């Protein structure tokens, strides 16, 4: 079931919201949690009812293993529990890729039945691995099975994030009471939902229509012309930007409708001055997970290994080449390699991850060098603008691999961007409308505040309070507040988005495939 589909907008959301409001008004907290849990499982099963048993078995098994880990603190049980989760994820998501690699490498005649990838398996697997790790460490929040089930299955974030943490979600379920004072949060939530729907159906989907022919041409083995290659790559970058931004706004808005604050997951990443900042703004909860459970433990282990050998640790900004490679570059490359694999089973995703690992290593090295030489890390506005443009260019190259069907298709796009199409290459016309739309959307991305900034005076995402935008500083009354003016603006935007959503076949959000 898609947020932008008729079945969700007209039937599912109104029925679930009405039932929740009635139960909370009656003070039936447990019943309201049970209602949301059942609705979330129905939401998940709407895609494929055959995937529900695996989904529920995963929730039940991890709940029981988490309880056992909290009691016994058994390292072996933790390894088994995490191994089972990764094994299930590996079978469904990577078995076909591994077999194809083995066939290509050895020439053996292996086949594997077609495996249907369960929806959101990467998201709910990562959430549960984090829960198991914290249960072993003794930091898991006390909870009932019903709360845990809702923590994993809560439909606003289930399919494409944010990847939530038990410590920020389970206490909120315990506070679901009478619903008093929720009118303000409901207004904030509905505003965010409509803004996200507008981004998806009005901005992201048209850009996808421009990007698809270029990548299809490259997938067929042709090199697009230079203009078409840049326009196709730029269109996809804007498509995934507004698609993911839109989903995040809709997810956070839906959570607020039910009295739940989800963590921030998207914060204008194309305004980032470097790749380190980019990953702190793009899929923020995935970055949080990778940092907390992979990058930091790996750095800690490498640091302890050096200490056992009697090697001194470098001071900040004073890395030698050896310590930098060991304590910065290696963890960055490994973590981003896993990030690439998490996004998809294919060499193009591995290249995407490793490329960003190289980006991060260079970024950390450059910052360390500047610090060692006594230069400021960040310069003036000219340096700022140049850094943003350079970061966006690096991200654009990575997104070519992210979107392409194969590494060879990505190389064809990049060849076209740098050298253009050879004689007889593929030709796709780039219209004035597409160029103007790309230019306008770039101005929106770089020049306007995001939804969280516009609504910063009210709680949107959990523990998120962005700085005032230039627009609010210049025009304080432009900030969102419940009232007739904002109501009319959001109503018009929302009406346009809903009409478009109901009049066309819904398209999947891009992160659904991960």
Name the β-bridge partners of 224: 426
| Residues 154 and 36 sit within 8 Å (Cβ to Cβ) | yes
343 is catalytic: yes
Tell me, yes or no, whether 220 and 165 share the same domain. Answer: no
Would you say residue 232 lies in a domain? Answer: yes
Q: Report d(CA 77, CA 68) in Å as an integer.
A: 8
Neighbouring C-beta atoms of residue 299, cutoff 10 Å: 18
Over residues 224-249, the pLDDT tens digits come to 999 999 999 999 999 999 999 999 99
Preceding amide of 21 cis, omega within 30: no
CB 261 within 8 A of CB 170: no
141 and 152 share one domain: yes
Report the domain count for the chain: 2
In whole angstroms, what is the distance from residue 475 CA to residue 478 CA?
Answer: 6
Alpha-carbon 336 to chain mean position: 14
How would you class 291 by CB atoms within 10 Å of its CB: exposed for 0-12, middle for 13-18, buried for 19 or more? middle
Distance CA 304, CA 302 (A): 5
More confident residue, 64 or 370: 64
Residues 6+ apart with CB under 8 A from 457: 479, 480, 481
| Domain extent for 124 | 6-180
Same domain membership, residue 148 and residue 115: yes
In a domain, 324, yes or no: no
Residue 178 scores a pLDDT above 90: no
Annotated catalytic residue: which of 143, 222, 343, 364? Answer: 343
First to last CA, the chain: 16
Given a contact cutoff of 8 angstroms between Cβ atoms, the answer to whether 229 and 292 are in contact is no
Range name among 33-42, 303-312, 446-455 with the lowest pLDDT average? 303-312
Of 257-261, 286-290, 307-311, 337-341, which gets the smallest average pLDDT?
Answer: 307-311
> Residues 227, 141: one domain?
no
For residue 241, what are the contacts with CB-CB under 8 A and spacing of at least 6? Answer: 204, 269, 270, 445
The reply to whether 278 falls in a domain is no
Domain identity same for 35 and 140: yes
pLDDT of residue 179: 45
C-alpha triplet 335, 339, 342: angle, nearest 5° = 135
Instruction: Please tell me which residue, 314 or 144, carries the higher pLDDT value.
Output: 144
Kindly state whether residues 31 and 130 are assigned to the same domain. Answer: yes
Does 99 share its domain with 162?
A: yes
pTM of the model: 0.93
> 3-state secondary structure string, 11-65?
HHHHHHHHHHHHHHHCCCHHHHHHHHHHHHHHHHHHHCHHHHHHHHHHHHHHHHH
What is d(CA 497, CA 149) in angstroms, rounded to the nearest whole number? 32
28 and 109 housed in the same domain = yes
- Rounded Cα distance between 431 and 209, Å, is 13
pLDDT tier, 313 (very low <50, low <70, confident <90, very high otherwise): low
pLDDT tens-digit readout, 112-138: 777 888 888 999 999 999 999 999 988
Q: Tell me the CA distances in angstroms from 77 to 70, 71, 125, 165, one per residue in order.
A: 11, 11, 17, 21
pLDDT of residue 180: 42
């Amino acid at each position: 079931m898609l947020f932008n589909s008729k079945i969700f907008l007209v039937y599912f959301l109104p029925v679930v919201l009405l039932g929740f409001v009635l139960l909370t008004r009656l003070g039936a907290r447990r019943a309201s949690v049970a209602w949301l849990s059942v609705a979330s499982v129905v939401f998940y099963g709407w895609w494929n009812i055959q995937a529900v048993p695996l989904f529920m078995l995963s929730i039940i098994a991890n709940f029981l293993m988490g309880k056992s880990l909290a009691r016994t603190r058994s390292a072996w049980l933790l390894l088994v529990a995490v191994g089972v989760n990764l094994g299930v994820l590996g079978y469904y998501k990577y078995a076909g890729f591994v077999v194809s690699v083995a066939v290509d490498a050895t020439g053996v005649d292996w086949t594997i039945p077609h495996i249907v990838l369960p929806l959101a398996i990467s998201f709910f697997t990562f959430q549960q691995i984090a829960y198991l790790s914290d249960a072993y460490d003794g930091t898991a929040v006390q909870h009932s099975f019903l709360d845990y089930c809702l923590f994993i299955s809560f439909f606003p974030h289930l399919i494409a994030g944010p990847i939530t943490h038990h410590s920020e979600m389970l206490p909120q379920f315990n506070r679901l009471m009478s619903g008093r004072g929720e009118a303000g949060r409901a207004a904030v939530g509905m505003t965010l939902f409509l803004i996200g729907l507008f981004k998806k159906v009005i901005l992201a989907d048209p850009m996808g229509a421009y990007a698809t022919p270029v990548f299809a041409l490259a997938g067929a083995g042709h090199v697009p012309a230079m203009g078409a290659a840049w326009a196709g790559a730029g269109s996809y970058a804007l498509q995934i930007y507004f698609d993911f931004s839109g989903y995040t706004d809709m997810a956070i808005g839906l959570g607020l409708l039910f009295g739940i604050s989800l963590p921030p997951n998207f914060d204008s990443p194309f305004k980032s001055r470097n790749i380190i900042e980019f990953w702190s703004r793009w899929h923020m909860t995935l970055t949080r997970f990778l940092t907390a459970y992979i990058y930091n433990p790996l750095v800690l282990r490498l640091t302890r290994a050096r200490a056992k050998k009697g090697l001194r640790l470098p001071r900040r900004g004073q890395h030698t080449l050896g310590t930098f490679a060991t304590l910065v570059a290696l963890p960055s490359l490994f973590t981003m390699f896993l990030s690439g694999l998490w996004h998809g089973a294919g060499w193009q995703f591995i290249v995407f991850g490793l490329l960003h690992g190289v980006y991060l290593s260079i970024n950390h090295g450059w910052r360390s060098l500047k610090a060692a030489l006594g230069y400021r890390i960040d310069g003036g506005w000219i340096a700022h603008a140049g850094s943003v443009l350079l970061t966006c260019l690096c991200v654009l190259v990575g997104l070519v691999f992210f979107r392409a069907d194969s590494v060879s298709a990505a190389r064809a796009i990049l060849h076209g961007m740098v050298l253009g199409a050879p004689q007889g290459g593929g030709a796709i016309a780039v219209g004035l409308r597409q160029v103007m739309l790309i230019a306008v959307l770039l101005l929106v991305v770089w020049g306007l505040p995001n939804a969280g900034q516009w609504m910063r005076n009210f709680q949107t995402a959990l523990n998120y309070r962005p700085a005032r935008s230039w627009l609010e500083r210049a025009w304080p009354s432009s900030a969102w507040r419940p009232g007739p003016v904002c109501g009319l603006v959001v109503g018009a935007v929302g009406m346009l988005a809903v009409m478009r959503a109901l009049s066309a076949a819904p398209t999947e959000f891009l992160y659904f495939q991960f």
